[in-house]
A and B are shown apart, each in its own frame.
Chain A
Amino acid sequence: MKRLTPYLLALPSWMWLAVFLVVPMAAMASVSLQTGNAIDGFAMTFSFSNYADALGRYSTQLVRSLWYGGLATVAMLVIGYPVAYWIAFKGGSRKSVYLFMLLLPFFVSFVLRTISWGFLLADDGVLFGTLKGWGLLPADFHVLATTVAVVGGLTYNFLPFMILPIYVALERVDPRVVEAAYDLYASRTAAFRRVVLPLSLPGVFAGVLMTFVPATADPVNAQVLGGTGNTMIGNIIQTEYLTNLNYPTASALSFTLMAVLLIGIFIYARALGTENVLEAAAR
């Protein structure tokens, strides 16, 4: 019995994984190779051409999603790193207050926050209406229904998932290590570049993973903030599943997206030096 105990304790998590990960994935993999329609039913025909068809029809949206996701991730890194750095090293005793303020907007639902941006950025809304009134912007200037709005929305919505891991990594940097760098005549830049930055890389790695993947697959921002040429792959998958009931195409697209993201992550992990990163993260 004693020998079994750890396995029994792990059983709930295994069940969880089986029910919510393995079964859906297997089902989806199977459906992606079937043909038919929702009324007459789908049958397994090992139709690998589903993948070719789906990619042929929607490669534009897939590439666009990766591009938007990448742009948003870079923007989040540029904005998020200094914020995390500032809270970790200059936050003093009020660190938790700053962190709380950072998270506060996220007590509101994701969709609602995105819709709020629609109101803020309306052509004649609070911001642009006022600026146009002062003659600072041309009358037909608009941000909504453009790429800028979609990428901006993605950046805003996933920002905390970039900041928090970087903050955690920076927070763990021993100040004495930095002092040692100064003692050894490192300039502030050199101390940052050669000591702080390398130590924070695991956080950056985690942050990029936690933001790039959901940002690329997100359908909400394109739907709410985008215009005629901003459809992302998430929107297509949603339409194929719910409107067209074309389960095979939708499943094939989901798998393709997953594969592309996984390959991207592996390349990225290699480029950043996985061993290093994992070692650091495990400390």
Chain B
Amino acid sequence: MSHLHDPAFLRGMTQPRTRREAFRIAGLSAAGLALAACGVQGQKAAPPKADAVKDYWAKQTKHGRVVFANWPEYMPEDQAPLKKFQSETGISYQYKEVIQENAEFFGKADPVLRAGQPLGYDIVVMTNGVQLQHMIQLGYCVALDHSKLPNFAANAGEAYKNRAYDPGSTYTIPYTSGVTGIAYNTKYVKDDITSIEALFDPKYKGRVGMMGDAQEIANFGMIALGVNPEKSTEADWKKAGEKLKAQRDAGIVRKYYDQSYIDAVSKGDVWVTMAWSGDVFQRQLAGEPVKFVVPEEGGTIWTDNMLIPKGAANPVDALMLMDYLYQPAVAAELDEFIQFVTPVPGVQDILKEKAAKAAGEDKKALEQMVASPLMFPSEADYAKLRTYTSLTTQQEQVFNPIFQSITQA
């Protein structure tokens, strides 16, 4: 429930529903009735046929508008990259910060897409993980036309072109990546934390934050046991579960957090916590006493991906915007603000040049960014980073209860 902290969500809660939405709700209720009568249809999709993809794109035309649904704090406040896109292409945009959590977003999108209705967005950003997997499996993503993505082909890093969860970038291209590691409050923790064992240290009893998300916490349990989550088995999950349960029962964990962990560690409610890299970096720049490390045993790397949902009204415009963001200059401008890991390696050089020209505070900030392993991980850093485990539906039904019985006891 990371949205609890998000002003966009709170704003959403107080906005009046439009008439069109009311109709949509009525439509959903009707879908509910149909569902009551005959069960919920499965929609497992076969891989797209090349011809079908070609036919689909041949039929689409540019409409001059695009609706982009993204996470909060993922775009400079002045929306400069999007404005430039608008003036260069003549495509007007709507930018909506409506995604605060994958599970929640999927939970809302699923019934709409299942009923064959459009979501109202042309681009959606989702993290690689169970929900994105579901989106692909259920056929909720439009297969991309790579002939319209020249910048992606030219400028994306190799690792970002070959992603195990979407081979050949059939349905998605990355928006940005980030690392899950450990953050600690230097006001309360005087030692340098380097090991994942700090999260299990009785010294910090009641002052440790863990993440409530099953995949995140499972990964850290397994990394602590020396298991590579990408190659883990059911037995490993159980062992990790036992370790995490012991950690909870010993009173070491204060709480299983969503996005709110970052406030808790800045305020000192927890001293050591699992954390996402960019969040911590933004807080550091704001002068708060927090530090981020990738534990020597390893951390998790994840990627937020852009996709076009089934039924999108403006797929051609969406594809143009997705590709536009892969121009190195645009990617650099974006990354300077969001400070996660960009999929365009050329950005580092651009920011270096900019730092050379800048002066004062700006120069310092830019130099820090260029040197930061949180924004530009080295080969050695990448080698320590693991991705989420891919799970089948059957495996999920084993995996989730193991870790949810710990986080939601």
CB of A122 within 8 A of chain B?
yes
A109 to B254 alpha-carbon distance, docked (Å):
26
Asked, given contacts A39-B42, A40-B393, A43-B39, whether A224 binds B267 with beta carbons under 8 Å apart, the answer is no
CB of B311 within 8 A of chain A?
no
**Cβ of B148 to closest chain A Cβ, rounded Å:** 30
Chain A 223-247 interface mask (CB, 8 Å, partner B; 1/0) = 1101111010001101101111101
B13, closest chain A residue (CB): A109
Chain A residues near B33: list those with CB within 8 A.
23, 26-27
A34 to B41 alpha-carbon distance, docked (Å):
12
For the A-B complex, the count of residue pairs with Cβ-Cβ distances under 8 Å equals 132
B129-157 residues with Cβ-Cβ distance < 8 A to A are 134, 137-138
Which residue among B13, B39, B400, B401 has the maximum number of chain A CB atoms within 10 Å of its CB? Answer: B39
CB of B377 within 8 A of chain A?
no
Which residue among A29, A38, A40, A243 has the maximum number of chain B CB atoms within 10 Å of its CB? Answer: A243
Stretch from B103-111, B313-321, B327-335, B343-351 at the A interface: B103-111
Q: How many residues of B contact A (CB 8 A)?
A: 51
A118 to B270 alpha-carbon distance, docked (Å):
13
Which of B268, B393, B400 is close to A39, meaning CB atoms less than 8 Å apart?
B393
Chain A residues near B64: list those with CB within 8 A.
none
**Cβ of A165 to closest chain B Cβ, rounded Å:** 25
CB of A59 within 8 A of chain B?
no
CB of B248 within 8 A of chain A?
yes
A223 to B2 alpha-carbon distance, docked (Å):
10
Chain B 1-37 interface mask (CB, 8 Å, partner A; 1/0) = 1001100011001100000000000100110110111
CB of A41 within 8 A of chain B?
yes
Assess the B39–A44 pair: CB atoms within 8 A. yes
A63 to B203 alpha-carbon distance, docked (Å):
33
Chain A residues near B254: list those with CB within 8 A.
145, 227-228
**Cβ of B211 to closest chain A Cβ, rounded Å:** 13
A244, closest chain B residue (CB): B400
Chain A residues near B107: list those with CB within 8 A.
241-243, 245
19 CB contacts below 8 A, A to B, read A29-B36, A30-B35, A31-B35, A34-B40, A38-B42, A38-B393, A39-B44, A39-B393, A42-B42, A115-B5, A123-B267, A123-B268, A145-B254, A223-B4, A224-B260, A226-B255, A228-B248, A243-B103, A244-B404
Top 7 nearest A-B pairs by Cβ distance? A41-B42, A242-B107, A27-B32, A30-B36, A42-B40, A243-B103, A40-B42
Other contacts beyond A27-B32, A36-B42: 5, CB < 8 A: A30-B36, A31-B40, A109-B14, A227-B254, A231-B408
Q: Which residues of A does B touch, CB under 8 Å?
A: 19-20, 23-24, 26-27, 29-31, 34, 36-44, 57, 60-61, 109, 111-112, 115, 118-119, 122-125, 140, 142, 144-145, 220, 223-224, 226-229, 231, 235-236, 238-239, 241-245, 247
